[in-house]
Structure 1
């Protein structure tokens, strides 16, 4: 068991209220006060300043909060991992993922999941977001993982990871390209983009329309069916592509591509779990929970 005094301190620090902390932890307010006093005596510091009916963290309190957050997070992970040892789940789960998720987010998660649960058979199909939604509606898969911002009727969506689309060009031969361009200058750039039905394209078009730019105004050089195809094309072209930042982390680090900022535009989105309406199966819930925890451990924004 983790030290309950740390839970009491964490709750008070987050709520800045002994009363709310007591309600949150289902104990009396004097019990919360007792735990805080014990911590203050143990470390010979004041954790809170109490003035005018309000409380604030002291410098020592802020330092303890940093450590406490890490300790409680590690404790929760330990609880999760230890409980997994007693689980002997088996069965089959069929997952459909849009192209970006399938190529750049899922491989590590699937490797860890199948290692942890060897008795669970996992199958994965991929396509664009519209393909995955149709597969769910046709009951061909148990769970979808898609990009994009519009939702189909009859399906439930649950964000699990934040993504950003970035405009990229190859580094070599484009030294004169400025670090930032305007949306109007973007329209003059030869663009390589995804095909119709792609969640990536949907985000791009929606953001441009917010700024009065119609898709027809873009100078589209070619539409390609995958991000890998776009990246390969860009290595041999002075065109510009707009892709998920997850897909180009290695190339940006190696200096193969560089990002061009587009003033005032924000191509952001969430990757979402998507399922048919109704309660998920235990295996689907297990996979979703495992995915969330893997993402948090990796330090990604959720």
Structure 2
């Protein structure tokens, strides 16, 4: 019997998830099939790799020694997929991804066209939701890949920066700040804000910067909290408050003169967009190809 990568992947997932049942759910396999593959791997090495108990499995000394090699093998396969996808133009399959609202509504629609022209055989399906929901769906194995607007800290999650973005202060053309055209952050905070809901990546980036500057986000004058960037823009345009939004999301309104960007003289809100997926997951080649596209192309030509 030869050493089998599939068995290494299953062993690693069992060790990472802490149980055969959790690994079976993550791998979309039956629990007996997972158990059988781990037993086959133990037979190959001639030693026990896992100690079973009623609560949680534990790695034996041999299992601990194998873990870094199993992890390296998964990373090697993933990197191989990424490298070879650059030479494969007739890929087929379905790209299913979750995207936070700003990315899904204003960034990806401008990128999916060029991507689709380059890879016409890949069908694209995208779910748009906030960062917290995407993380929950990935952890519950309802999604295996997501693009989010703020860093995600979770021991089971792989995160990688794939795009850059900048948030800007915006106000209605009739707002007092619009006639001045610039302000300090402290001056801006004297006005009423319209914000995205708690849990959104845009709001998280803004609040993190306030905290970094020694300011308490809880003291902001928040007139409304709305569930989409489009709703926030409409409220700003109606003069219901000012907001901080992605520059990519307000290009249309700026061009029409409906709202204006207010230059912050002492603050910038720069951020990165991140891809996230479970460390134990092997992404489908369609997802690997799309991530390679984001990393290697000059995206500004379409944004």
Normalising TM by the smaller chain, what interval? Answer: 0.5 to 0.7
SS at match of 1:153: coil
Deviations 1:199-245 (CA, angstroms, capped at 9, x unpaired): 11111111111122111210001001111101111111152011000
TM-score for both structures, normalised by structure 1 = 0.66
- What does residue 287 of structure 1 align with? 290
- What does residue 198 of structure 1 align with? 200
In the alignment of these two chains, the number of paired residues is: 219
Aligned-pair distance for 1:265? 2.1
Q: Distance in 2 between matches of 1:196 and 1:135?
A: 18
In structure 2, do the counterparts of structure 1 residues 127 and 236 end up closer, same or farther at CA, with 3 Å as the change threshold? Answer: same
Aligned-pair distance for 1:82? 9.8
Deviations 1:85-129 (CA, angstroms, capped at 9, x unpaired): xx4322222100000000111112222333433332221101111
SS at match of 1:188: coil
Q: Distance in 1 between matches of 2:86 and 2:287?
A: 20
The match for 1:216 among 215, 218, 237 is 218
- What does residue 42 of structure 1 align with? none
Q: Distance in 2 between matches of 1:108 and 1:245?
A: 14
- What does residue 301 of structure 2 align with? 298
TM-score for both structures, normalised by structure 2 = 0.66
- What does residue 137 of structure 2 align with? 135
Aligned-pair distance for 1:256? 2.0
Deviations 1:239-284 (CA, angstroms, capped at 9, x unpaired): 2011000001222233222111234222111011111104433221
The match for 2:115 among 107, 113, 120 is 113
Q: Is the Cα contact below 8 Å between 1:174 and 1:238 reproduced in 2?
A: no
Deviations 1:154-191 (CA, angstroms, capped at 9, x unpaired): 11111111111111011135476422223322222010
- Unaligned 5+ residue runs, structure 2? 1-83
Aligned-pair distance for 1:297? 6.2
- Unaligned 5+ residue runs, structure 1? 1-79
Q: Distance in 2 between matches of 1:175 and 1:145?
A: 33
